[in-house]
Amino acid sequence: MFTPARIRGLGLAALIFVVDRAVKALMVGPLALRERGLIDLLPMFDLRYAENYGVSFGMFTATSLEMRYGLIVVTALIALGVGIWMLRETARGDIAGLALVLGGAVGNIYDRLAYGYVIDYADLHIGEWRPFQIFNLADVAITFGVLILLARSFKSGKKPDESGSANGDDAATENA
């Protein structure tokens, strides 16, 4: 069950969680982003404090204590499912994608438990146009993890090559 690839995956998830916690602590601590509200950095990127009471794009906003705990339970169950999937997965690429999702999810769940909301701070924009809501490192990890899983699933749908391998990353590479 705990192959080297899976142990590395758990380590990556833990690293994402720790770095996410450290960056958020920096934002609300020494940088005092909560009090300042905004720190102009680059023409297209600012640090802007936001409290996200929902999930992606502010959907499913928790407006009561019951909804908050419901959101925590649902996201924790999803994270548990991702963790179980990662511990059963054999392809290293999929393990890496799942680890990014798991680490980011746990980081945001921690915020929701500790504060009642997720701390967001990264504001990518072009002038007044914002292609994304304000986000955080955990959101980036989740997004890249999902993109890795999607790309790998599209790749695995290709016809097998001459050696008979459909995706080039089978169980034989698990222990590498």
Catalytic center residues: 120, 139
**Sheet strand arrangement including 38-42:** 38-42, 45-52, 118-124
The position carrying tokens 């999607």 is 150
Q: What's the DSSP call for residue 129? A: B
Distances (CA, A) of 130 to 96, 144, 169: 29, 19, 37
The position carrying tokens 């908050």 is 68
- Amino acid in position 37: G
Residue 56: count other Cβ atoms within 10 Å of its Cβ: 13
User: Which residues are bridge partners to 50 per DSSP?
Assistant: 120
